[in-house]
Amino acid sequence: MCILDWFGKYEAVAVWIEGLALVGIFGFDIWVARRDHKETLQQVKLAQDQIKISQNAERAWVLTELDWPDDSLTKIFTGTSKIRDEPEVETTEVILQLFCRNEGKSPAWVDKIQGYSEIVEGKLRDLPSPSGHQAQQFLPIGPIAPGKEEHRNLHLTCLGHLERTQSLSIFVVVEYRDIFEHRRVTTCGYTVSGSYGAYLSRQDQLPERNRNT
């Protein structure tokens, strides 16, 4: 039997075998493509991780502190205000100096500064977030070069008159960015205490109010 007769007689079998071969080739191509795709994803992730590590090493890192202004003897003021026919409102204002120091390796731009203050009775209670309190906005700062420090005076006002037995809780949020356009946040919490606010101390017992991300 010649080969042409064989193919004519077993044409259906030949077509079936050819189909299996094509399916096998197609499956092998899919397996190779998936393997290559997986390897590509791993390489992309590795490259992204390396970029992230490099950027983190070169990032800006703004740390904040509060202190009394050098040129101000009077730091706390009490007063009253009245709007039209509404009852008089008692207020307490404190003047502080915010220091922003860039401990990173690239410049930092402080785009937003928010301050909150409130009178606290007795011992300092848990104050994780000033949500619900009225935020006061202050002018931005920048750029701050690596290893350099800039400051801004803050006039913070809250309701009520600060009494000798009370404390004034301060919370400041600083939002900044670096050369990689990453948005970062630094917060600091402080307490003004003592007779007429003689002492200013950081709220180290409340780590949630002193963070840097």
Of 57, 80, 98, the last residue of a domain is 57
159 has a pLDDT exceeding 90: no
Claim to verify: residue 134 and residue 164 sit in the same structural domain: yes
Q: How many domains does the chain have?
A: 2
Greater confidence (120 vs 131) lies with 120
Greater confidence (98 vs 10) lies with 98
Mean pLDDT of the chain: 79
- Residue range of the domain that includes 178: 62-209
Claim to verify: residue 107 and residue 204 sit in the same structural domain: yes
pLDDT (0 to 100) of residue 199: 86
185 has a pLDDT exceeding 90: yes
Average pLDDT over residues 42-55: 53
pLDDT (0 to 100) of residue 144: 95
Q: What is the domain-level CATH number for residue 79?
A: 2.60.40
pTM of the model: 0.71
Claim to verify: residue 149 and residue 46 sit in the same structural domain: no
Contact 132, 109 (CB under 8 A): no
**Residue range 76-128, pLDDT digits in tens:** 888 887 677 778 889 899 999 999 999 999 999 999 999 999 888 866 665 55
Claim to verify: residue 187 and residue 110 sit in the same structural domain: yes
How many Å apart are CA 115 and CA 127, to the nearest integer? 14
Contact 170, 156 (CB under 8 A): yes
Which of helix, strand or coil describes residue 148? coil
Claim to verify: residue 44 and residue 123 sit in the same structural domain: no
pLDDT (0 to 100) of residue 59: 87
Claim to verify: residue 80 and residue 96 sit in the same structural domain: yes
73 has a pLDDT exceeding 90: no
Written as six digits, the tokens of 32 are 């190779």
pLDDT (0 to 100) of residue 55: 47
131 has a pLDDT exceeding 50: yes
Q: 181: number of CA atoms within 13 Å, CB side?
A: 0
Of 23, 40, 57, the last residue of a domain is 57
Claim to verify: residue 85 and residue 179 sit in the same structural domain: yes
Angle at 171 between CA 167 and CA 174, to 5 degrees: 160
Claim to verify: residue 41 and residue 76 sit in the same structural domain: no
